[in-house]
Chains A and B, each alone.
Chain A
Amino acid sequence: MSPSVLICDDSNMARKQVLRSLPEEWKDSVQIACNGAEALTILRDNSIEILFLDLTMPGIDGIGVLQGIQKLKLNCSVFVISADIQPEMQNKVKALGAKEFMRKPVQADALLNNLQLHGLL
């Protein structure tokens, strides 16, 4: 059975980059959020297993979403995909519970490797 997946990014192109990297059979169960607030609403009302999360977004950013997930005590595997590649930022998102950090533009093999690494594939 394919897991429930949420992709959160303010860029349509970036969302498509993630989507096309996913296994074909997952694609029907993918939800989309264009910003942090939308993501938190979807996360609250659905049981999302895997979240692909951008950091730099207007309004509630990726850090805000990670904090929200902690506050709501959600059990969700988060993979951050960001252009903000500073080592301090990578450490920060991991400290906030993200499984992995991937730099943009995301490459399909890196994404699939990371899913495998965490037993999600």
Chain B
Amino acid sequence: MDQLVTLNRRELLKSTTGLLMGWVVAGSPLALIAPGRAWAVDLTAFTSSEGAALLSMARTIAPHDKLDDAAYALVIQSVDGDASKDANTLKMFKEGLASIGTSFAASSESERVEALEKIESSAFFQTMRVKILQVLYSNPIAYAYFGYEGEAFSKGGYLRRGFNNLRWLPEVPTEDSGPLPAGA
């Protein structure tokens, strides 16, 4: 979340064309790491309605109903950055957005899926899909949501933090496993 807020402040100094904003949902995993925080992403390449359409597209490609919009907003922030740096990318996105129509974000999920299936082979769709895979699952919001604990070196590894705590299956006999290091 600090990443979002920091970028937001810096971006405010520049001219912006759109804004995505929201509130972290109370009781969501994200609320534990960002309690009661409002978030906002300024857009420089896209308008607010384009941003909303892209966010809706991301939610259709990777629909995690209880995952906070803030995580999806990181994806939009990233593609907005790409599009503002490169005219060809911007053109591809603008044309892609035109192809899914202005009512995309307001459509039902089945309508959105149908619309995306029609453009599945386009560079626009594929760029968005890869960007979602790259960004949506590699931030603290997603880590908290999916229960992924990330790097462990700074905490002494998982040796004493549950690497072998699975109890719903039998233990592996010593001859096929190995001794725990002293103190583990």
Task: Please indicate whether A and B come from the same complex rather than being unrelated chains.
Answer: no
Residues of A within 8 A of B (CB): none
